[in-house]
Amino acid sequence: MVRIVNTCKCCGKDLEGRSDKKFCDPYCKSSYHYQKGITESPRFYNRVDNQLKLNRRLLKNYNKAGKATIRSEQLISEGFNPNFFTHYWKNNKGDVYLFVYEFGFLSKIEHGVKKYILIKWQGYMEK
């Protein structure tokens, strides 16, 4: 019977035990996947998730009272991207608010300046 000797993907040591073993210990497994994650470009869903988290954090920071108005250039300069949102809500006037989880925004132009009206999700919006 021929014995196939596998080596650890991280450190190169000979492996003992199961024939499908890839790493010599949990440290090597963790180290290998960490280094692999650094060298690979971020996956699509990671980029989307990171942008959604940033958008939510910014909307939360600028909307402490439940409703606020801010210049769009201020949010965008901090990394906000209005193309990333989780859902929308249309009010009785026909305005469509885009939401990032529980924080929403509506783009308006007032006196020639583009602004965002920020709101927080309310129970009556579930209809």
Domain layout of the chain by residue ranges: 1-40, 46-126
Give residue 1's pLDDT. Answer: 60
Return per-residue pLDDT of the chain as tens, 127 residues.
666 778 999 999 999 888 889 999 999 999 999 998 888 777 888 889 999 999 999 999 999 998 999 999 999 999 999 999 999 999 999 999 999 999 999 999 999 999 999 999 998 888 6
Give residue 113's pLDDT. Answer: 94
Stated pTM of the model: 0.69
The full DSSP string for 8-58 is -TTT-PBP-S-TT---SSHHHHHHHHHHHHHHSPPPHHHHHHHHHHHHHHH
Q: Are 115 and 70 in contact (CB under 8 A)?
A: yes
